[in-house]
């Protein structure tokens, strides 16, 4: 045990105690199974030794890795891989009654399928496959089967007779005491797939005789009709009472329902390394199609979010939600676990809490709809379909959903007032929404104080209202902030309305580089107005609005900031209170293409993928462990290959970044 430092007991099994340990050589967390052998019977010792022998034979990314075994204080110690995401059973239990998306189910299932295929090719039966023995990585995206304590190594044609395993997952032939082979593991695999689809076990009863009767009858409640007929048929085939009629694993892999998730697994999960005996890893695995990073709210360095076998092309962040749109037109959400569950307790000697874990899921109830754009507000979300239809869901306070009422909606619902228009873009502020149509019409709804809706009043509206844009301007894109809005025009000009506190919209009447006089200062505008110099002199290709400042990017790749500089968010070391727009000279070495503003910080993206941040540094806002700085500095991502930033979003103290 001199090589390991015990941290805590994480479980107690039939044969002993399971410890979470720190391997001193590389500071890696590992699991140590402590199995007392002194008082064991001969059969129990053989079972313990069997687990070691089985683990030595297996090497697969979806099987828990075996490191070593040794004797210590009259106990057999087995060192193996630690899976910090808990068990699949725990994951399912935490879902309560919220069913998983079919793609997520298949993503988990094909990994278990590949692992079991690897086990069977080694002439091994698992004999206790269940959701409690299927473990998850820290992102809860990679599954690994473990606990081979009752596995049996078979000769090529031998059959096992011993009745072992968890009663809820045992096959009918085991109940009858008949000999069995790999088909019993396939029955258990069917039970696992059923549990993923229904969030409950296929066979449960108050006592063992009643359970056996249920299993022998082969009857179980059907899964939800939201799932495809192919998925239902796959479950039925694996839970066939006749073992000979259950499909082989290679037959399951060849089914149409499994081919796409299997291909996605090998093309998308590029960070999963195949293990090779001797400690090296197979190279040449392609990188993931895209990666999503987040920082802020206590996450001090970029944290890679879990992915669902897809490429994300656009992201948005709200106060409580993180969302993205996939290349195939699906809406993906990233959610933090319940309070107290994130990250787990700190390890002894740690100076800070472990980074929180996020769970990714496809939005449910989206069948048949292709999403092309998403925008998040506070407690609500708007998304645009490929047919130009806007759908909203979440909190209906302030009329932000645009449904003509203030009711909350849990699933995306069409904004019916806009059905006569083909919408091309939508943007959410904290509590208001703007949208633009293919005919350059602008609509606004939600909270109206400060004139943020651009309707010439301070009134709120719970359904879309058409906004009057100066006739010489044609709207191309809309941007919403906390209490203000912008329109980018076809001719690359910017219009703004709402709160102009600290001149954060650039609406002060400035004729030179001098500070405007009090009579030339605009505190708020209820209609869209053209900013002053230099924002009205150069073509603007990108802009964003923060809490008290904004930023704009010109066609030449220069970045201007304006508004409050209390925390250096304008990109200058001095916390000057000038109302004159500021050219960020610290970015002149790169061509800026995209800019995003948070509550007191700014993020800029370069044409070559550079990511720079500046402003308030508290709670990880800048993506590094720096104090606040008015000088742009780079953010380091984990990517080991050239990447392109495809989308960035800031909200309050958080940043969400998509790269490919």
CATH topology of domain 291-339+356-659: Methylamine Dehydrogenase; Chain H (2.130.10)
Q: Which CATH superfamily is domain 4-81 in?
A: Phosphorylase Kinase; domain 1 (3.30.200.20)
Instruction: Tell whether 200 is in a known binding site.
Output: no
As a dihedral over the C-alpha atoms of residue 1, residue 133, residue 140, residue 333, rounded to 10 degrees, the angle is -160
Q: What are the pLDDT digits (tens) for 425-440?
A: 999 999 999 999 999 9
Backbone angle region of 375, left / alpha / beta, with phi > 0 → left and psi within -120 to 50 → alpha: beta
Q: Establish whether 449 is a catalytic residue.
A: no
- What average pLDDT does this structure show over 124-128? 79
Task: Calculate the average pLDDT of the chain.
Answer: 84
- What average pLDDT does this structure show over 528-540? 90
pLDDT of residue 114: 93
As a whole-number percent, the residues of the chain with pLDDT over 70 amount to 85
Catalytic residue among 101, 128, 147, 378: 128
Q: How confident is the model at residue 523 (pLDDT cuts 50, 70, 90)?
A: very high
pLDDT of residue 649: 95
For residues 199-218, one letter each, b for 16 or more C-beta atoms within 10 angstroms of the residue's C-beta and e for the rest, the string is bebbbeeeeeeebbebbeee
Question: What CA–CA distance (Å, rounded) separates 602 from 599?
Answer: 9
Asked if the bond preceding 548 is cis, omega within 30° of 0, the reply is no
Q: Which helix (H) or strand (E) element contains residue 215?
A: helix 208-217
Residue of 138, 136, 133, 137 whose CA lies nearest to 168: 133
pLDDT of residue 47: 65
> Residue 340 above 50 pLDDT?
no
> Residue 329 above 60 pLDDT?
yes
Question: What CA–CA distance (Å, rounded) separates 606 from 539?
Answer: 18
pLDDT of residue 270: 38
Q: What are the pLDDT digits (tens) for 373-416?
A: 999 999 999 999 999 999 999 999 999 999 999 999 988 999 99
At 367, list the tokens: 């069948």
- What average pLDDT does this structure show over 29-53? 74
Report which of residues 545 and 165 the model is more confident about.
545
Polymer length in residues for the chain: 660
> Residue 629 above 70 pLDDT?
yes
Strand extents, DSSP E, 377-416: 380-385, 390-394, 409-414
pLDDT of residue 406: 95
Question: What CA–CA distance (Å, rounded) separates 658 from 626?
Answer: 23
Strands 582-583 and 611-615: what pairing? unpaired
- What average pLDDT does this structure show over 88-97? 85
Q: Which helix (H) or strand (E) element contains residue 117?
A: helix 102-121
- What average pLDDT does this structure show over 472-495? 96
Contact criterion met (CB below 8 Å) for 115 and 145: yes
Q: Give every CB contact of residue 183 below 8 A, 6+ residues apart in sequence.
A: 171, 173, 243, 244, 246
pLDDT of residue 510: 83
- What average pLDDT does this structure show over 298-321? 87
Report which of residues 527 and 183 the model is more confident about.
527
Choices 1.20.120.550, 1.10.3720.10, 1.10.510.10, 1.20.120.160: CATH for 88-268: 1.10.510.10
Domain-by-domain residue ranges, the chain?
4-81, 88-268, 291-339+356-659
> Residue 422 above 50 pLDDT?
yes
Residue of 519, 507, 490, 592 whose CA lies nearest to 545: 507
Question: What CA–CA distance (Å, rounded) separates 66 from 69?
Answer: 9
Q: How confident is the model at residue 127 (pLDDT cuts 50, 70, 90)?
A: confident
> Residue 281 above 70 pLDDT?
no
pLDDT of residue 514: 75
Q: How confident is the model at residue 356 (pLDDT cuts 50, 70, 90)?
A: low
Question: What CA–CA distance (Å, rounded) separates 489 from 67?
Answer: 61
Report which of residues 626 and 406 the model is more confident about.
406
pLDDT of residue 56: 76
Q: How confident is the model at residue 513 (pLDDT cuts 50, 70, 90)?
A: low
Residue 534 DSSP class: T
């Amino acid at each position: 045990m001199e090589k390991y430092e015990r941290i805590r007991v994480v479980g107690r099994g039939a044969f002993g105690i399971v410890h979470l340990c720190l391997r001193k050589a590389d500071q890696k967390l590992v699991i140590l199974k402590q199995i007392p052998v002194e008082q064991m019977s001969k059969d129990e010792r053989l079972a313990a030794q069997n687990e070691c022998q089985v683990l030595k034979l297996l090497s697969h990314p979806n099987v828990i890795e075996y490191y070593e075994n040794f004797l210590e204080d009259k106990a057999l110690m087995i060192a193996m891989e630690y899976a910090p995401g808990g068990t699949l059973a725990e994951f399912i239990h935490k879902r309560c009654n919220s069913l998983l998306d079919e793609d997520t189910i298949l993503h988990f299932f094909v990994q278990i399928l590949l692992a079991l295929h690897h086990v069977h090719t080694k002439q091994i039966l698992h004999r206790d496959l269940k959701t409690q023995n299927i473990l998850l990585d820290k992102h809860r995206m990679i599954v690994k089967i473990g606990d081979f304590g009752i596995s049996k190594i078979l000769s090529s044609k031998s059959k096992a007779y011993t009745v072992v395993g968890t009663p809820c997952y045992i096959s009918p032939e085991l109940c009858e005491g008949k000999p069995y082979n790999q088909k019993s593991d396939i029955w258990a695999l069917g039970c696992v797939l059923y549990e993923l689809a229904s969030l409950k076990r296929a066979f449960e009863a108050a006592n063992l005789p009643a359970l056996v009767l249920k299993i022998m009858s082969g009857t179980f409640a059907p899964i939800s009709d939201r799932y495809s007929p192919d998925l239902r048929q796959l479950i039925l085939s694996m839970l066939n009472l006749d073992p000979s009629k259950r499909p082989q694993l290679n037959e399951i892999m060849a089914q149409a329902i499994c081919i796409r998730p299997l291909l996605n697994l090998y093309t998308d999960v590029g960070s999963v390394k195949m293990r090779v005996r001797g400690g090296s890893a197979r190279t040449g695995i392609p990188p993931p199609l895209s990666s999503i990073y987040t920082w802020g709210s206590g996450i001090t360095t970029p944290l890679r979010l879990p992915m669902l076998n897809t490429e994300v092309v656009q992201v948005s962040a709200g106060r409580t939600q993180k969302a993205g749109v996939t290349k195939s037109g699906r809406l993906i959400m990233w959610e933090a676990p319940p309070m107290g569950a994130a990250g787990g307790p700190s390890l002894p000697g740690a100076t800070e809490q472990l980074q929180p874990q996020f769970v990714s899921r496809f939005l449910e109830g989206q069948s048949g709809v292709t999403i092309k754009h998403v925008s998040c507000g506070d407690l609500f979300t708007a998304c645009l379909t490929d047919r130009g239809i806007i759908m909203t869901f979440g909190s209906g306070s302030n009329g932000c959903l645009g449904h003509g009422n203030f009711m909350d909606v849990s699933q995306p619902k069409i904004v019916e007032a806009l059905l006569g228009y083909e919408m091309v873009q939508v943007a959410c502020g904290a509590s208001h929404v703007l949208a633009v149509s293919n005919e350059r019409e602008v609509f606004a709804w939600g909270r109206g104080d400060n004139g943020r809706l651009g309707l010439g009043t301070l009134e709120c509206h719970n359904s879309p209202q058409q906004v009057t844009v100066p006739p010489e301007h044609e709207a191309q894109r809309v941007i919403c902030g906390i209490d203000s809005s912008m329109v980018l025009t076809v001719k690359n000009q910017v219009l703004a309305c709402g709160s102009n506190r600290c001149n954060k919209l650039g609406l002060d009447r400035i004729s030179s580089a001098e500070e405007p006089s009090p009579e030339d200062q605009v505190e708020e505008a209820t209609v869209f107005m053209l900013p002053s110099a230099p924002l009205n002199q150069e073509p603007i290709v990108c802009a964003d609005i923060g809490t008290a400042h904004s930023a704009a990017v010109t066609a030449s790749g220069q970045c201007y900031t304006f508004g409050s500089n209390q925390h250096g968010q304008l990109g200058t070391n001095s916390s000057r209170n000038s109302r004159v727009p500021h050219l960020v000279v610290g970015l002149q070495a790169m061509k800026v293409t995209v800019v995003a503003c948070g509550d007191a910080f700014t993020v800029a993206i370069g044409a070559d993928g550079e990511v720079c941040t500046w402003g308030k540094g508290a709670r990880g806002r800048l993506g590094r462990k720096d104090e606040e700085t008015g000088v742009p500095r780079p953010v380091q991502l984990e990517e080991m290959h050239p990447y392109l930033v495809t989308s960035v979003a800031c909200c309050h103290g958080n940043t969400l970044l998509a790269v490919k």
